[in-house]
Amino acid sequence: MWYQWKARNNKCFSNLDTTALDILQLARQEAEAWKMAQIIETTFTIEEENNQRKDPTPAPNLTHQWRCQVDASWVEASDGIGMGFVLFEQEVEVLRGWCKGPQTETPLHAEAESLYWAMKEVNKRGCLRINFESDCQQLVHIIQRKKHWPALEPVLDEIKAMNALFKDLSLMFISRSANFRADTLAKEARAREQCFSFYEVKDPIRLAI
């Protein structure tokens, strides 16, 4: 029904014709992608739990001056997603940001949107050698191994383009417990009634260097 509705809108507003066969094939492709996402997400959830039991607070990668923890908050019935990031210079918190954006199709889409947003914000503040940290192992896996994921392709293309603006960038998985700051910001943002973005500079001297 969703793809029939989209085809109707394309005809009404853009005068684009879509055949019944095209609609059926697209619906089948998305259904298969959704099924695969559930399988992989379950697998990664188990892996995340195992990793957290082994090392609940992994040591941060300090190969770069900057590191940024990122998270998203998604609920199916919500009117939007929450996004949060915390920027550190080594172990010192320098900047935090939280934002509410339009609702996405899945939690994975929300995590990808949150990463892209955080990349934009720290890049324009001159942090060009940085480690990003996420507790979404599925997203980290897709990006690191350059997995083909049609449903995520638009935002993955944006992440790839933004990546080119950094001098050196890495992405690593951290446990949920280690990512509690960004998680709290994302949940607070999603609870707001309207879309917004807010930034709090914790150490202006370090950020200005």
**Model pLDDT, residue 142:** 95
Domain ranges of the chain: 2-54, 66-208
Q: Who contacts 157 (Cβ-Cβ below 8 Å, separation ≥6)?
A: none
pLDDT at 137 over 60: yes
Return the SS3 of 129.
strand
- The better pLDDT of the pair 38, 159 is held by 159
**Model pLDDT, residue 16:** 56
Residue with tokens 């940024």: 68
Give mean pLDDT, residues 162-184.
96
CATH node for 66-208? 3.30.420.10
Q: Who contacts 155 (Cβ-Cβ below 8 Å, separation ≥6)?
A: 109, 112, 113, 116
Q: Which amino acid is at 108?
A: L
- Per-residue pLDDT of 2-24, as tens digits, reads 344 344 544 454 555 656 666 55
Q: Which two tokens stand for residue 80?
A: 């939007």
- Per-residue pLDDT of 49-87, as tens digits, reads 555 444 444 444 455 689 999 999 999 999 999 999 999
To the question of pTM greater than 0.85 for the whole model, the response is: no
Q: DSSP label at 61?
A: -
Q: State the average pLDDT for the chain.
A: 81
The C-alpha atoms of residue 196 and residue 36 are separated, in whole angstroms, by 33
